[in-house]
Amino acid sequence: MGEDQMLDRTRAVLTASAMSLAIASGFAVSAHAAVSANMSKGDAQNACTTLTKQFNFLEPTKKGLPYWKDAQSKFQAGKKACDNGDPVKGATAMDQSIRDMYVVPDTDRKSENG
């Protein structure tokens, strides 16, 4: 086998290994949702704040779309729960309302980035 063939094979193996690692690490990150039923009240309250900001940002572009009313209803129920001392329930509802608009919640992005 010539030197060029050996380099090509080495590159192919390294590329395949790097891609496999990237895919595996992506699955590990996406498998961990930031909003969960067993999160602390403090973390849930932070999630409520983050998700409220995101919902308010999305509202002008999502309002009127077929899924808007259901997403808005879930969000309002979540906001009410957050405001009434049940941030875990609230953050869970808000998280789902944003997913219902086909958007990844910012709380997931924060867990992906550290």
Domain residue ranges of the chain, discontinuous segments joined by +:
1-31, 35-112
Question: Is residue 89 within 8 Å of residue 77, measured between CB atoms?
Answer: no
Quick one: angle between helices 87-99 and 68-83, nearest 10? 160
For residue 90, give both structure tokens. 């609230």
**Distance of alpha carbon 22 from alpha carbon 26, whole angstroms:** 6
Tens-digit pLDDT string for the chain (114 aa): 677 776 677 666 555 554 554 444 444 334 334 688 889 999 999 999 999 999 999 999 999 999 999 999 999 999 999 999 999 999 999 999 999 999 999 999 765 554
Question: Is residue 91 within 8 Å of residue 82, measured between CB atoms?
Answer: yes
Residues 6+ apart with CB under 8 A from 44: 35, 82, 87, 88, 90, 91
Model-level pTM greater than 0.75? no
What one-letter code names the amino acid at 51? L
